[in-house]
Amino acid sequence: MTDFLSLSLADITAKLKARELSATEVATAALDAAEASQGALNAFTAFDRDKTLAMAKVSDDRLAKGEGGPIEGAPIAVKDLFAVEGVSTTACSHILDGFRPPYESTVTTKLWAAGGVFLGKTNMDEFAMGSSNETSYYGNVINPWRVKGSEAKLTPGGSSGGSATAVAADLCFGATGTDTGGSIRQPAAFTGTVGVKGTYGRASRWGAVAFASSLDHPGPFAKTVKDAAMLMQAMSGHDPKESTSLPLGVPDFVAAAAASVKGKKIGVPKEYRMDGMPEEIEALWQQGVEWLKAAGCEIVDVSLPHTKYALPTYYIINPAEASSNLARYDGMRYGLRVDGKDLTDTYEKTRAEGFGHEVQRRILMGTYVLSAGYYDAYYLKALKVRRRILEDFDKVFETCDALLTPSTPSGAFELGSKAGDPISMYLNDIFTVTANIAGVPALSVPAGLDGSGLPLGLQVITPALDEETMFSVGAALEDAAAFNHKPGKWW
């Protein structure tokens, strides 16, 4: 019996503590299910069965003594951006072929200290650049959800598509992701899972492959808001090794998820009502408003006037930082090396072969906006607009406690349907990028199904350092939506 794989993180840890199941039994079942799903879902890039079972044995020993952390014995999947000591870590890029870090990222170190058991590395867009998980060197991840009556392969969203799929398909009890412009919240919405990014600096970026350093936010995928709070609490905390890590204690996110939202003021930003937005997204948003009213919240209309500049601002800062961060990949110290006739030729051939087309596109865009003739016109101006976007949030949060918006402009789309149109692909981040630009916490919670039977999410955004309100509002939406849908198992 492996029905326990469908349990929430909170429920499986309770069963493990009660000794109704062993951590080894749970880890073995999760490994078997994850490996068996690979041919259909392609959610993982690497497993290390010996490591997983050794960690499960340690958890069993702790549990036998009545000890153990808050997530003791629960198999957790890790996005292939986080270093796990001795395990292939490639950011799903050919240029990092064979790289096995001799160190552990801070996020995974904290998860293992809380009792988590490493399950495997999850597939993702190359260097986290993508919104559909179609840029991975290891091939597309397939969403476990399908349109009713169709066998068409759908995107799980990106860049953290493998983590989202692993949680949605009940292959693990939580997973790590990173969110640079929506790369946790968009896949969460597309797969019917909960996705969270905290305040910038709440969870350390040390040991995670850098994409755009001022925008990258580590965070969890989970089956419920409470599970997400458990994981976020485990992942967070000050890290002296990371210069932007916040030197603050971690609030009790789990308690916050159970707190009442009565009396909270919820802002509805008018700028998120986009031309051509599907009626079912608008209807779900309005339903979310009604749910929060019923929970005792006051709804206020608010304005974030610089929202229309968010995507162009993001797509200047994002590639600029990427071009700088990815300059280190030259084939000299680790990963792929393609020998040339001299050093420069080796650099050029290695990077040409090692980086995929989307990564090359962003490096070229970033190099352009940072070049001497265009730095002031593009990059410097984008930083000024970023400040205005942050000021919009500061002003709005003087009058409300949280914002409610859709998570995405649609449900999951068919793989390949946007592959030749990068602008259309970038527009998938339209509701999520502002929170990254401002560095404020945000959560996506599954709230309904579209006309095709695919999940849709609602997004909660709160002021910096107020993840507690984010979790309480998210839990209130979860309770009201009573979303208990699962993809039909076909894999």
Residue 419 pLDDT > 80: no
Cβ proximity of 142 and 42 under 8 Å:
yes
Residue 255 lies in domain: 3-262+410-481
**pLDDT (0 to 100) of residue 2:** 66
In this structure, what are the phi and psi dihedrals at residue 217, rounded to the nearest 5 degrees? -130, 115
Catalytic residue among 160, 183, 245, 444: 183
Distance between alpha carbon 34 and the CA centroid of its chain, in Å? Answer: 19
When pLDDT is averaged across residues 191-220 and rounded to a whole number, the result is 98
Average predicted confidence (pLDDT) for the chain: 96
Residue 1 pLDDT > 60: no
Burial 299-334, CB ≥16 within 10 A → b, else e = beebebebbebbbebbbbbbbbbbbbbbeebbbeeb
Terminal-residue alpha carbon distance, the chain = 18
Q: What distances in angstroms separate CA 91 from CA 86, 176, 419, 425, 480, one per listed residue?
A: 15, 13, 20, 20, 37
Kindly report, residue by residue over 461-491, the tens digit of the pLDDT: 999 999 999 999 999 999 999 999 999 999 9
How far is 84 from 80, CA to CA, in rounded Å?
A: 9
**pLDDT (0 to 100) of residue 491:** 96
183 is catalytic: yes
Provide the percentage of residues in the chain whose pLDDT is more than 90. 93
Cβ proximity of 35 and 28 under 8 Å:
no
Provide the percentage of residues in the chain whose pLDDT is more than 70. 98
Helix (H) or strand (E) holding 27: helix 23-41
Instruction: For residue 161, tell me if it sits in a domain.
Output: yes
Catalytic residue among 59, 79, 197, 204: 79
Catalytic residue among 159, 236, 407, 472: 159
**pLDDT (0 to 100) of residue 136:** 97
pLDDT band at 432 (very low <50, low <70, confident <90, very high): very high
Name the β-bridge partners of 414.
154
Instruction: For residue 292, tell me if it sits in a domain.
Output: no
**pLDDT (0 to 100) of residue 468:** 98
Instruction: For residue 77, tell me if it sits in a domain.
Output: yes
pLDDT band at 211 (very low <50, low <70, confident <90, very high): very high
Write out the DSSP string of 392-437. HHHHHTTT-SEEEEES-SSS--BTTSSTT-HHHHHGGGTTTHHHHH
Instruction: For residue 135, tell me if it sits in a domain.
Output: yes
In terms of phi and psi (left: phi > 0; alpha: psi -120 to 50; beta: otherwise), the region of 157 is left
- The predicted model scores a pTM of 0.96
489 is catalytic: no
Kindly report, residue by residue over 298-345, the tens digit of the pLDDT: 999 999 999 999 999 999 999 999 999 999 999 999 999 999 999 999
Residue 190 pLDDT > 70: yes
Q: Is 223 helix (H, G, I), strand (E, B) or coil?
A: coil
pLDDT band at 278 (very low <50, low <70, confident <90, very high): confident
If 0-12 CB within 10 Å is exposed, 13-18 middle and 19+ buried, where does residue 58 land?
Answer: middle
The CATH code of the domain that includes 210 is 3.90.1300.10
Instruction: For residue 353, tell me if it sits in a domain.
Output: no
Residue 357 pLDDT > 80: yes
**pLDDT (0 to 100) of residue 191:** 98
Residue 119 pLDDT > 90: yes
Distance between alpha carbon 435 and the CA centroid of its chain, in Å? Answer: 13
159 is catalytic: yes
Kindly report, residue by residue over 343-353, the tens digit of the pLDDT: 999 999 999 99
**pLDDT (0 to 100) of residue 328:** 94
Instruction: For residue 364, tell me if it sits in a domain.
Output: no
**pLDDT (0 to 100) of residue 487:** 96
- Based on the structure, what is the number of domains in the chain? 1
**pLDDT (0 to 100) of residue 464:** 98
Instruction: For residue 313, tell me if it sits in a domain.
Output: no
Instruction: For residue 54, tell me if it sits in a domain.
Output: yes
**pLDDT (0 to 100) of residue 309:** 94
Residue 226 pLDDT > 80: yes
